[in-house]
Amino acid sequence: MLRRLTPWLLPAAILVAWEIASRSGLLSARILPEPAAVLAAFWKLLLSGELAHHVGVSAARAFSALAIGGGLGLLLGLLTGTWRHAEALLDTTLQMLRNIPALALIPLVILWFGIDEAAKLVLVAVGVFFPVYLNTFHGIRNVDRDLIEMARSYGLSSWQLYRQVILPGALPSILVGLRFSLGLMWVLLIVAETLSAQAGIGYLTMNAREFLQTDIVLVGILLYALLGKLADVVARALEKAWLPWHRGYALQGN
């Protein structure tokens, strides 16, 4: 029990010190509101339904962009990983594009797509594309040649080989790519929503900033942190569910 509590001691101490500093007037509410005020703002937003609305909008944006960018990355990664011709045709181009930070595309994205939903989707989708693509490609290329040779000599057809040996062998690497993408997804979303938005967590915080509502700004920041953590938990759960055989994720025999 004590061991489980230990990691939380420091955050709790910081919260208490922060609360005391705010109440004693050491810390102005304009700079940092007290924790209780943040909690109150959170509660108010939750009751009014605003919170659910904005989180819903942000999550929908994030995950549709992930579906588009990650899906494309998976597809192209499978393609270039499997067929040398596809690699020869696509990989150099993709490797060059990879070196452009997604955020450097903002001016161009705004010019092409304006500042609507499409711009945000494109920005996030481009960012999450590469981790999935690269890890899928390498995952497929790094499947143990010996296992492939064995499976061939045991009479597996090409499709069976792909389905039973190559894909499962590449899966750990693909999931690593997905986890990277999930982390990147929120970062890019924050930037995209801060640029301009009519709804979403970014809108919530930018709007609050206009009115110096630092408590709501803080709620927004904490929401991003929470969602980021949640995405990580989901990624871990996927790894546990899909890689039960993997030493790193599960040690149970059954």
Partner 1 sequence: MWLTEIDTPVQPSEPAPEATPARDASNGLALRLRGLDKSFGTRHVLQGLDLDVAPGEFVALVGRSGCGKSTLLRLIAGLDAPSAGVVEAGAADERRLMFQDARLLPWKRVVDNVALGLAGRDARDRAMEALSQVGLAGRGSDWPATLSGGQRQRVALARALVHRPRLLLLDEPLGALDALTRLEMHRLIEQLWRSHGFTALLVTHDVTEAVALADRVLLIDRGGIALDASVALPRPRSRTAPGFAALQDRVLRHIISEPPMA
Q: Tell me how far, at minimum, the Cβ of 151 lies from partner 1, in Å.
A: 7
CB of 144 to partner 1, least distance (A): 8
Based on its alpha-carbon atoms, the radius of gyration of the chain, rounded to whole angstroms, reads: 23
- Residue 248 gets which letter from DSSP? T
CA–CA distances in Å: residue 34 to residues 11, 30, 149: 15, 10, 63
- 104 torsion bin: left (phi>0), alpha (psi -120 to 50), beta (else): alpha
Q: How far apart are CA 84 and CA 73, in angstroms?
A: 17
Give least dist CB 168 to partner 1, A: 4
Residue whose structure tokens are 């499976």: 151
Q: Give the x-and-dash track for 169-208 against partner 1 (CB under 8 A).
A: x-x-------------------------------------
The gap from C-alpha 95 to its chain's centroid, in whole angstroms, comes to: 21
Instruction: Output the CA torsion sign for 164, 167, 172, 178.
Output: negative
Q: Minimum Å distance from CB 50 to partner 1?
A: 45
Q: Which of 183, 206, 246, 249 binds partner 1 (CB under 8 A)?
A: 246
Residues 6+ apart with CB under 8 A from 77: 132, 133, 134, 135, 136, 137, 139, 140, 174, 177
Tokens of 220: 């927004």
Q: How far is the CB of 162 from partner 1 (least distance, A)?
A: 13
User: In this complex, which beta carbon is closest to partner 1, that of residue 40 or of residue 243?
Assistant: 243
**Of residues 156, 195, 206, 221, which one binds partner 1 by CB under 8 A?**
156
Residue 160 touches partner 1, criterion: CB under 8 A: yes
In terms of Cα–Cα distance, which of 123, 134, 139, 141 is closest to 94? 134
- Minimum Å gap between C-beta 222 and partner 1 is 39
Structure tokens at 28: 């102005």
93 binds partner 1 (CB under 8 A): no
Q: Alpha helix (H) ranges present in the chain?
A: 2-23, 35-48, 50-82, 84-98, 106-113, 117-141, 145-153, 158-161, 167-195, 201-210, 214-242
Q: Residue from 64, 82, 164, 207 that binds partner 1 (CB under 8 A)?
A: 164
Size of the site for partner 1 (CB under 8 A): 22
92 binds partner 1 (CB under 8 A): no
Binders of partner 1 in range 136-155 (CB under 8 A) = 146-147, 149-151, 153-155
Applying CB under 8 A, the span of 37-45, 82-90, 201-209, 238-246 interacting with partner 1 comes to 238-246
Residues that bind partner 1 (CB under 8 A): 146-147, 149-151, 153-156, 160, 164-165, 168-169, 171, 243-247, 253-254
